[in-house]
């Protein structure tokens, strides 16, 4: 059964979209990430124009994050103060990102930048995550003592120190602001929530306790993704609500089953699996960049 998507201006199979939403939702529930980094390339792959895929996926991230953050709020795992500082950076970053997106579309380099960002970010995160997972796996099997909470480094010498009670941190506000800004730009250009970048950065860069990391990152992602959706809708008119709704229906259901399975698997196994998945996506996109294209000519998006 086909459904016509009014903004993407093409028709796709309803069950393909529901299934896609379901599978990505399942993975995002399993690994505790938004899943945008898988969904956006897949949407482009099935024929959705890249600007529509990125903008619509941002809208989807809003839905999957709110579902997750509510559960974390109930358990008190959200550091609202840290989230707000990240958010201020995130709003500025995503606003700049949407304008950058428009500029890159106009000069015909948006596809390249989307692909390069994916290869670079996913490659780095994937390798780090797999490495961490393997290291943790070896550590538990050898019963070595765990590292201390966080190391002190150059970042702790920066000004504008703030106290974050829930994260048990006393640090410069510039660090979360900058982190939020960077992830905001990525969010606008790649159509991702940025959880897979934010979560490791919060753990290793900010030194936040793991228990509050996911809730806090989801908290700020909701607002950043909402900002991206709004700006893409206003500036580029590329948000397809019909497409978003199809993906949402599948995604909401899939996420619930994913998180159930996720709670039964050990953390290191999950991290290694996710790392391998992320590296796979990065390699696939890298191949697209370096292999000889079928036709070197193409019709430009956003003439």
Partner 1 sequence: MRALGAITRLRRRLRPVATLMLTAVVLAGVPAERGDGQDLVADLSQHLVAITTGFTGTEVLLFGAVERPADGGSPGEVAVVVRGPSTPVTMRRKSRVAGIWMNTASMTFERVPSFYAVAASAPLSQIATPQVRQRNGIGVDALDISLPPAKASPNVAQEWRDALIRAKQRNGLYTASVRPVVFLGARLFRTEVYFPANVPTGSYQVETYLLRDGQVVSAQTTPLIVSKVGVEATLTRFASEHAAVYGLVAIIVALLAGWGGYALFRKA
Q: By CB under 8 A, tell whether 63 contacts partner 1.
A: yes
Q: By CB under 8 A, tell whether 16 contacts partner 1.
A: no
Residue of 27, 51, 29, 26 whose CA lies nearest to 40: 51
Minimum CB separation from partner 1 for residue 272, in Å?
27
Which of 99, 140, 237, 269 touches partner 1 (CB under 8 A)? 237
DSSP state of 234: I
Minimum CB separation from partner 1 for residue 150, in Å?
31
- Contact at 8 Å (CB) between 37 and 46? no
Terminal C-alpha separation, the chain: 32
Q: By CB under 8 A, tell whether 141 contacts partner 1.
A: no
Q: By CB under 8 A, tell whether 297 contacts partner 1.
A: yes
Which residues share a beta bridge with 5?
Answer: 10
Q: By CB under 8 A, tell whether 205 contacts partner 1.
A: no
3-state secondary structure 23-61: HHHHHHHHHCCCCHHHHHHHHHHCCCCHHHHHHHHHHHH
The binding track of 85-124 with respect to partner 1, each residue x by CB under 8 A or -, is -----------------------xx-xx---x--------
Which of 125, 248, 278, 282 touches partner 1 (CB under 8 A)? 248
Interface region with partner 1, contact rule CB under 8 A, candidates 86-94, 147-155, 187-195, 235-243 = 235-243
Question: How many of the other CB atoms lie within 10 Å of CB of 293?
Answer: 9
DSSP state of 176: H
Backbone angles phi, psi at 197, to 5 degrees: -95, -45
Burial (CB < 10 A; 0-12, 13-18, 19+), residue 294, is exposed
Please say which residue, 29 or 207, places its beta carbon nearer to partner 1: 29
Which of 186, 231, 246, 272 touches partner 1 (CB under 8 A)? 231
Q: Which residues bind partner 1 (CB under 8 A)?
A: 1-4, 6-7, 9-11, 59-60, 62-67, 70-71, 108-109, 111-112, 116, 226, 229-234, 237, 239, 241-242, 244-245, 248-249, 252-253, 255-256, 289-293, 295-300, 303
């Amino acid at each position: 059964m086909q459904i016509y998507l009014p903004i993407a201006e093409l028709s796709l199979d309803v069950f393909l979209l529901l299934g896609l939403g379901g599978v990505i939702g399942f993975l995002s529930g399993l690994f505790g990430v938004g899943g945008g980094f898988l969904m956006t390339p897949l949407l482009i792959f099935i024929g959705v124009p890249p600007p529509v895929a990125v903008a619509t996926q941002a809208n989807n991230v809003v839905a999957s994050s709110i579902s997750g953050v509510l559960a974390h709020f109930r358990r008190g795992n959200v550091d609202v103060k840290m989230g707000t500082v990240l958010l201020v950076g995130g709003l500025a970053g995503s606003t700049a990102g949407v304008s950058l997106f428009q500029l890159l579309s106009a000069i015909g380099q948006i596809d390249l930048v989307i692909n390069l960002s994916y290869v670079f970010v996913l490659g780095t995160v994937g390798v780090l995550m797999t490495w961490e997972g393997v290291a943790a796996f070896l550590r538990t099997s050898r019963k070595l003592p765990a590292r201390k909470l966080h190391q002190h480094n150059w970042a702790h010498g920066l000004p504008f120190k703030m106290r974050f009670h829930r994260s048990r941190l006393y640090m410069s506000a510039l660090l979360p602001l900058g982190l939020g800004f960077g992830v905001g730009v990525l969010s606008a250009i790649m159509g991702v929530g940025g959880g897979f970048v934010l979560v490791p950065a919060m753990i290793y860069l900010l030194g936040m306790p793991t228990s509050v990391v996911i809730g806090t990152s989801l908290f700020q992602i909701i607002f950043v993704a909402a900002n991206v959706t709004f700006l893409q809708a206003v500036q580029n008119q590329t948000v397809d609500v019909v497409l978003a709704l199809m993906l949402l229906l599948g995604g909401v259901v899939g996420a619930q089953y994913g998180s159930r399975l996720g709670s039964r698997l050990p953390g290191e196994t999950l991290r290694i699996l996710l790392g391998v998945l992320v590296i796979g996506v990065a390699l696939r996109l890298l191949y697209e960049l370096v292999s000889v294209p079928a036709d070197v000519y193409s019709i430009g998006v956003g003439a």
